């Protein structure tokens, strides 16, 4: 057991093989430390599973099961049913990438929600199949360069739009579905805390930048995630039983270029006239999100300024504290 | 265990630290407020304590360098606020307001300065002048166990603070309170003692191992005599001294004040309170007209100018005096004209007036506040001989002549004197750390917050009571909390939350980097709000 840090459990501890600056490792560390080690984690195939369990070594300091790509939600359903049969109420968490959620795992996820299993499904969305070499997924946004959607003479990157998964999931009329990013820790913490207080199927969609696949500086993982929110491209919302019940308002809106220009996967858009048209299209998509969820005028105190505010002596927030774990 | 071990176990056996080509380093910087403070206060440190409501600790940190916070919070021109990085976010922190609050709180609670040592030294030190420089020097020496005697020619201590600053800016009781607290360290104060008259310079030299001359610059620069001497003409220094001594001068209806420094503005505001119509004639342009360029803008501080104008003082910018207009000895006014150049080609203050732009400014009294010089009379044997053990500071040492500069020079003199007496080279706590500019600050982590000001109390005619109210505990606490902590860790946890590799370990106080696992991504430095973390290359 690694107990280097007296102030948190490190459910996902050091020595894992994620790339330098990995947004998914960051997101998984935040979410799992917020939930703590008293839970059963089911992990679909994907980057997270590969980099955290390498050469027979595990970075997990909690019960952890690897399923195949498609069936993480089904495995979790079984684990939850077994626990229920034994009269135990250990939380069950599914972790999957966008491939294991948007594409390959979607039918198992839908079934799990439909059957009402008491499971939190967390999707760490890095918007492509990064682990196998950056192939496009249905989560890849429009106009992105991947190895299977290369820009060139006849193409401006991925032709299709990013799948609106949160709406699909929420359409199951489930108790709780929310989006979050690594950039606004207080926002993420509030959503994990809320999800853990609710019974039934819950879904958390965490945008996790990938320095390798998105082709940005490793130091900018948080910055890029923040800009995804501030441009309106990735709205932070909460849905309960299909209805939007919470919105993180944008203190100010940034033009999409601010987000795009930091990432190599959008570099081709700045090269020619066709690219400029795609930038206008992406701006229109961001504006549509802002209108749809009222991101600029939502009647709430909770905005991006408040959600990034720091405090002297920390803003705390992990399940472990110095009292619970001795240094 | 070998890092390539493949036997089942935890990944912590595998040290990812050797992937990196750069590593983060926690490093305190020197924020611009402290950097520009003439008294070298560690402003950020005491603001941080004040934002934690550790009022007494904040006051003790502040008084390490400046034993006169209630005074300086009122009279200092606060260059710290002009340098404050927060100005680029919304408005600068009201540093002087918090400083004043700490000083007032100390007076109210009766906090006493603590000596730094129990050891009593035997070598006697003399300080000439009980102004801010002399008091500051004596304070630093006394705290370190040196017996100090302060001599002052006046009947009250405080120097220019007492004779030059009107009661509405600095109540006498506040100044006296802080001086008493300094003297309580066991400093002897001999008032009404002029060196060269009441005690000779040679006696001083014999009785004391070291002498600190902080005699101020009280000799007013005069306007060339037009044949009628000082009839209807007064210097700003004398004018203010008489008013500060409690004299309620009876003034004529119209007064012209010549000069643009704080002395001129103080004199104008005092004359206004005594019922006169006052016009200030100053060679420079208003604040902000040259982007803060020193020399081209009025040297008096902006707040003072604004309050003076609000009180009905008229200002004539970029005008100079051509001649005094008299009918016989009777003064009927001043002929003023537009200033062409303020400085000559050597950079000296020497205004040239435009011919043909003359105006007549009616006035029955002219107050010249055009600068002051040092009066060395009686001190010649001390300053002319090449003897060691004589130190000069404060206004007497040259420009800039600000109270805070005097406090700073008092500290430096004390350190030099101790070095001389103990034979140990001077130990200045020089802050040679890196600077922090707004580019190092991550504004997204600081919410916008309005600056809290001390309330401006209504000015009633003839009143010399204080104009600006203190902040009070709540506002001072909030104001201190607006500090960005430039370059200093305030334990916000950002680096700890964001590290993808759990390579940032939180400790009781602060954090440490676990080099075994840090991959050198640089997210911690990128997301550090205050610019406390640097990334440095590592050979590899």
The answer to whether the Cβ–Cβ distance between A310 and B6 falls below 8 Å is no
pLDDT at B39: 94
Within 10 Å of residue B316's Cβ, how many Cβ atoms? Answer: 16
Q: What percent of chain A has pLDDT over 90?
A: 88
Those residues with Cβ within 8 angstroms of residue B364's Cβ, 6 or more apart along the chain or in another chain: B232, B252, B253, B254, B255, B331, B332
The answer to whether the Cβ–Cβ distance between A15 and B498 falls below 8 Å is no
Residue A258 has pLDDT above 70, yes or no: yes
CA dist., res. B28 & res. B25, Å (int): 10
What is the enclosing helix (H) or strand (E) of B366?
strand B365-368
pLDDT at A275: 93
Q: pLDDT band for position B430 (50/70/90)?
A: low
pLDDT at B165: 93
DSSP string, B125-162: EEEE--SHHHHHHHHHHHHTT--EEEE-SSSSS-THHH
Superfamily of domain B125-218+379-422 in the CATH hierarchy: FAD/NAD(P)-binding domain (3.50.50.60)
Q: Does A228 touch chain B if contact means CB atoms closer than 8 Å?
A: no
CA dist., res. A12 & res. B500, Å (int): 9
Q: Which of A113-117, B11-15, B341-345, B454-458 has the highest mean pLDDT?
A: A113-117
Query: Which tens digits make up the pLDDT trace of B362-401?
Result: 999 999 999 899 998 888 888 876 778 899 999 999 878 8
CA dist., res. A188 & res. A34, Å (int): 9
Residue B171 has pLDDT above 90, yes or no: yes
Q: Which residues in chain A are closer than 8 Å to B512, comparing Cβ atoms? A: none
The answer to whether the Cβ–Cβ distance between B11 and A20 falls below 8 Å is no
Query: Is residue A120 a contact partner of residue A196, using CB atoms and an 8 Å limit?
Result: yes
Q: Does A26 touch chain B if contact means CB atoms closer than 8 Å?
A: yes
pLDDT at B291: 80
Angle, helices B43-51/B55-63, rounded to nearest 10 degrees:
170
Nearest CA in chain A to B19: A20
Token pair in block for residue A49: 């599973």
pLDDT at B427: 66
Fold assignment, B222-372: FAD/NAD(P)-binding domain (3.50.50)
CA dist., res. B203 & res. B126, Å (int): 11
Query: Is residue B351 a contact partner of residue B341, using CB atoms and an 8 Å limit?
Result: yes
Residue B3 has pLDDT above 70, yes or no: no
Q: What is the 3-state secondary structure (H, E, C) of chain A?
A: CCCCCCCCCCCECCCCCCCCCCHHHHHHHHHHHHHCCCCEEEECCCHHHHHHEECCEECECCCEEECCCCCHHHHHHHHHHHHHHCCCCCCEEEEEECHHHHHCCHHHHHHHHHCCCCEEEEEEECCCECCCCCECCCCCCCCCCECCECCCCCCCCCCCCCCCHHHHHHCCCCCEEEEEECCCHHHHHHHHHHHHHCCCCEEEEEECCCHHHHHCCHHHHHHHHHHHHHCCCCCCEEEECCEEEEECECCCCCCHHHHHCCCHHHHHHHCCHHHHHHHHHHHHHHHHHHHHHCCCCCCCCCECCHHHCCCCCCCCCCCCCCCCCCC
Q: Does A320 touch chain B if contact means CB atoms closer than 8 Å?
A: no
Q: Which pairing describes strands A243-247 and A53-54: parallel, antiparallel, or unpaired?
A: unpaired
Q: Which comes out higher in pLDDT, residue B433 or A164?
A: A164
CA dist., res. A138 & res. A18, Å (int): 23
CA dist., res. B113 & res. B106, Å (int): 10
Residue B294 has pLDDT above 90, yes or no: no
Query: Which tens digits make up the pLDDT trace of B523-538?
Result: 999 999 999 999 999 8
The maximal CA–CA distance of chain B, rounded, in angstroms, is 109
Q: Does A204 touch chain B if contact means CB atoms closer than 8 Å?
A: no
Sheet architecture: strand order including A237-240? A64-66, A40-43, A92-97, A119-125, A202-207, A176-181, A237-240, A243-247
The answer to whether the Cβ–Cβ distance between B448 and A305 falls below 8 Å is yes
Look at residue B316 and give its three-state secondary structure. Answer: strand
Q: Which residues in chain B are closer than 8 Å to A310, comparing Cβ atoms? A: 445-446, 490, 492-494, 529
Residue A323 has pLDDT above 50, yes or no: no
CA dist., res. B212 & res. B214, Å (int): 6
- Report chain B's terminal Cα–Cα distance, integer Å: 22
CA dist., res. B76 & res. A135, Å (int): 64
| Main-chain dihedrals φ then ψ at residue B468, nearest 5 degrees | -105, 130
Of A56-70, A208-222, A239-253, B414-428, minimum mean pLDDT range? B414-428
pLDDT at B428: 63
Q: Tell me what the pLDDT averaged over chain B comes to.
A: 91
Query: Is residue B201 a contact partner of residue B379, using CB atoms and an 8 Å limit?
Result: yes
CA dist., res. B178 & res. B156, Å (int): 14
- What is the arithmetic mean of pLDDT over A286-294? 97
CA dist., res. B163 & res. B243, Å (int): 8
Of A66-80, B136-150, B283-297, minimum mean pLDDT range? B283-297
List the single residue in A16, A30, A305 with the smallest CB-CB distance to B11.
Answer: A16
pLDDT at B249: 86
CA dist., res. A177 & res. A122, Å (int): 10
CA dist., res. B459 & res. B468, Å (int): 10
Those residues with Cβ within 8 angstroms of residue B536's Cβ, 6 or more apart along the chain or in another chain: B22, B23, B24, B25
Domain extents in chain B: 11-28+489-537, 32-113+432-457+469-481, 125-218+379-422, 222-372
CA dist., res. A126 & res. A27, Å (int): 11
CA dist., res. A269 & res. A141, Å (int): 13
Q: Which of B24, B477, B481, B502 is the best mutation test for A, with the most CBs of A within 10 A? A: B502
Report whether the peptide linkage leading into residue A275 is cis, meaning its omega lies within 30 degrees of zero.
no
Q: Which of B523, B527, B531, B540 is the best mutation test for A, with the most CBs of A within 10 A? A: B523
Q: Does A324 touch chain B if contact means CB atoms closer than 8 Å?
A: no
pLDDT at B458: 74
Q: Which residues in chain A are closer than 8 Å to B514, comparing Cβ atoms? A: 4, 14
Within 10 Å of residue A195's Cβ, how many Cβ atoms? Answer: 25
The answer to whether the Cβ–Cβ distance between A18 and B501 falls below 8 Å is yes
Q: Helix %, strand %, coil % for chain B, to 5?
A: 35, 20, 50
Query: Which tens digits make up the pLDDT trace of B228-280?
Result: 888 899 999 999 999 998 888 889 999 999 999 999 999 999 999 999 999 99
Q: Does A200 touch chain B if contact means CB atoms closer than 8 Å?
A: no
The reply to whether domains B32-113+432-457+469-481 and B222-372 share a CATH topology is no
| Main-chain dihedrals φ then ψ at residue B512, nearest 5 degrees | -135, 155
Domain extents in chain A: 23-308
Query: Which tens digits make up the pLDDT trace of B41-69?
Result: 999 999 999 999 999 999 999 999 999 99
| Main-chain dihedrals φ then ψ at residue B199, nearest 5 degrees | -145, 135
Nearest to B284 by CA among B299, B298, B294: B298
Nearest CA in chain B to A22: B500
The answer to whether the Cβ–Cβ distance between A56 and B494 falls below 8 Å is no
CA dist., res. A157 & res. A226, Å (int): 23
Q: Which residues in chain B are closer than 8 Å to A312, comparing Cβ atoms? A: 48, 51-52, 481, 485, 490-492
Those residues with Cβ within 8 angstroms of residue A220's Cβ, 6 or more apart along the chain or in another chain: A21, A209, A211, A262, B526
List the single residue in B6, B492, B520 with the smallest CB-CB distance to A314.
Answer: B492
Nearest CA in chain A to B505: A5
Q: Residues A97, A128, A170, CA angle at the centre, nearest 5°?
A: 55
pLDDT at A319: 60
pLDDT at B309: 94
CA dist., res. B34 & res. B45, Å (int): 9
CA dist., res. B487 & res. B530, Å (int): 5
pLDDT at B5: 54
Q: Which of A14, A49, A59, A126 is the best mutation test for B, with the most CBs of B within 10 A? A: A14
Fold assignment, B32-113+432-457+469-481: Fumarate Reductase Iron-sulfur Protein; Chain B, domain 2 (1.10.1060)
Find tokens 């509030």 and name the residue: A190
Q: What percent of chain B has pLDDT over 70?
A: 96
Token pair in block for residue B46: 């005491």
DSSP string, B395-444: GGG-S---HHHHHHHHHHHHHHHHHHHH-SPP------PPB--GGGS-GG
Angle, helices B403-422/B132-143, rounded to nearest 10 degrees:
40
Query: Is residue A43 a contact partner of residue A24, using CB atoms and an 8 Å limit?
Result: no
Q: Which residues in chain A are closer than 8 Å to B16, comparing Cβ atoms? A: 14-17
What is the enclosing helix (H) or strand (E) of B324?
strand B319-327
pTM to 2 decimal places: 0.89
CA dist., res. B285 & res. B319, Å (int): 9
Q: CA–CA distance from A115 to each of A88, A102, A109, A110, A285 (Å)?
A: 19, 19, 10, 9, 34
CATH class of B11-28+489-537: alpha beta
Q: What percent of chain B has pLDDT over 90?
A: 74
Fold assignment, A23-308: Rossmann fold (3.40.50)
What is the enclosing helix (H) or strand (E) of B206?
helix B201-207
């Amino acid at each position: 057991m690694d107990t280097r840090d007296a102030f948190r459990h490190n459910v996902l501890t050091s020595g894992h093989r994620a790339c330098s600056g990995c947004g998914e490792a960051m997101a998984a560390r935040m979410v799992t430390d917020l939930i703590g080690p008293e839970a059963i984690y089911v992990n679909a195939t994907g980057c997270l599973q590969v980099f955290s369990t390498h050469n027979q070594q595990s970075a997990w300091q909690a019960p952890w099961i690897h399923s195949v790509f498609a069936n993480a939600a089904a495995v979790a359903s079984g684990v939850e049913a077994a626990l229920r049969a034994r009269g135990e109420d250990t939380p069950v968490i599914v972790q999957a990438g966008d491939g294991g959620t948007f594409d390959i795992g979607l039918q198992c996820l839908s079934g799990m929600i439909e059957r009402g299993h008491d499971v939190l499904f967390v999707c760490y969305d890095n918007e492509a199949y990064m682990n196998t070499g950056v192939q496009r997924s249905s989560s890849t946004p429009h106009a992105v360069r991947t190895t299977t959607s290369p820009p060139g003479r006849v193409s401006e990157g991925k032709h299709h739009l990013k799948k609106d998964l949160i709406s699909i999931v929420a359409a199951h009329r489930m108790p709780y579905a929310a989006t979050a990013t690594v950039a606004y820790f207080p926002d993420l913490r509030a959503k994990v805390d809320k999800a853990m207080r609710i019974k039934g199927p819950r879904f958390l969609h965490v945008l996790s930048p990938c320095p390798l696949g998105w082709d940005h500086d490793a130091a900018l993982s948080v910055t890029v995630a923040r800009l995804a929110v501030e441009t309106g491209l990735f709205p932070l919302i909460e849905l309960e039983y299909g209805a939007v019940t919470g919105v993180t308002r944008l203190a100010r809106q940034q033009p999409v270029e601010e987000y795009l220009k930091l990432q190599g996967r959008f570099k081709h858009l700045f090269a020619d006239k066709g690219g400029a048209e795609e930038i206008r299209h992406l701006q229109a998509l961001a504006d549509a999100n802002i209108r749809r969820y009222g991101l600029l005028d939502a009647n709430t105190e909770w905005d991006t300024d408040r959600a990034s505010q720091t405090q002297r002596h920390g803003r705390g927030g992990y399940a472990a504290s110095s009292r619970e774990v001795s240094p | 265990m070998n890092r390539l071990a493949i036997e089942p176990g935890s990944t912590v056996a595998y040290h990812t630290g050797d992937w990196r080509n750069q590593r983060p380093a926690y490093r305190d910087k020197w924020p611009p407020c402290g950097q520009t403070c003439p008294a070298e206060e560690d402003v950020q440190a005491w603001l941080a304590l004040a934002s934690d409501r550790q009022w007494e600790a904040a006051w003790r940190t502040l008084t390490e360098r400046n034993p006169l916070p209630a005074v300086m919070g009122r009279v200092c021109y606060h260059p710290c606020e002009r340098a404050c990085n927060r100005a680029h976010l919304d408005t600068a922190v009201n540093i002087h307001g918090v400083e004043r609050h700490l000083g007032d709180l100390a007076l109210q609670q009766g906090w006493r300065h603590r000596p730094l040592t129990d050891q009593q030294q035997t070598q006697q030190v003399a300080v000439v002048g009980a102004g801010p420089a002399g008091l500051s020097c004596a304070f630093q020496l006394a705290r370190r166990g040196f017996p100090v005697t302060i001599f002052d020619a006046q009947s009250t201590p405080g120097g220019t603070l007492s004779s030059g600053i009107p009661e509405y800016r600095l109540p006498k009781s506040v100044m006296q309170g802080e001086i008493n607290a300094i003297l309580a360290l066991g400093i002897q104060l001999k008032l009404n003692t002029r060196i060269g008259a009441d005690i000779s310079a040679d006696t001083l030299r014999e009785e004391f191992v070291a002498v600190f001359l902080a005699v101020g610059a009280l000799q007013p620069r005069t306007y060339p005599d037009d044949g009628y001497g000082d009839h209807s003409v007064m210097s700003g220094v004398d004018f203010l001294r008489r008013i500060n001594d409690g004299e309620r001068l009876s003034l004529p209806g119209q007064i012209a004040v010549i000069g643009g420094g704080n002395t001129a503005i103080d004199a104008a505001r005092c004359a206004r309170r005594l019922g006169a119509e006052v016009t200030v004639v100053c060679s420079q342009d208003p604040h902000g007209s040259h982007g803060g360029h020193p020399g081209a803008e009025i040297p008096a501080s902006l707040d003072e100018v604004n309050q003076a104008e609000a009180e009905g003082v008229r200002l004539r910018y970029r005008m100079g005096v051509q001649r005094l207009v008299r009918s016989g000895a009777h003064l009927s006014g001043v002929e003023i004209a537009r200033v062409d150049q303020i400085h000559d080609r050597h950079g000296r203050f020497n205004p040239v007036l435009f011919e043909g732009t003359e105006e007549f400014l009616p006035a029955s009294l002219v107050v010249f506040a055009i600068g002051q010089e040092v009066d060395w009379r009686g001190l010649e044997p001390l300053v002319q001989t090449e003897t060691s053990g004589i130190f000069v500071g404060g206004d007497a040492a040259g420009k800039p002549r600000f109270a805070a500069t005097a406090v700073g020079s008092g500290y430096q003199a004390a350190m030099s004197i101790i070095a001389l007496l103990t034979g140990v080279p001077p130990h200045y706590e020089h802050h040679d750390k890196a600077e922090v500019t707004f580019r190092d600050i991550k504004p997204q982590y600081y919410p916008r917050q309005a600056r809290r000001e001390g309330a401006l109390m209504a000015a009633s005619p003839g009143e010399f009571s204080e104009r600006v109210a203190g902040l009070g505990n709540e506002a001072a606490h909030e104001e201190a909390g607006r500090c960005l902590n430039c370059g200093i860790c305030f334990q916000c946890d950002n680096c700890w939350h964001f590290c993808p590799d759990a390579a940032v370990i939180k400790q009781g106080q602060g954090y440490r980097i676990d080099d075994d696992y840090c991959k050198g991504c640089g997210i911690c430095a990128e997301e550090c709000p205050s610019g406390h973390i640097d990334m440095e290359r590592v050979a590899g």
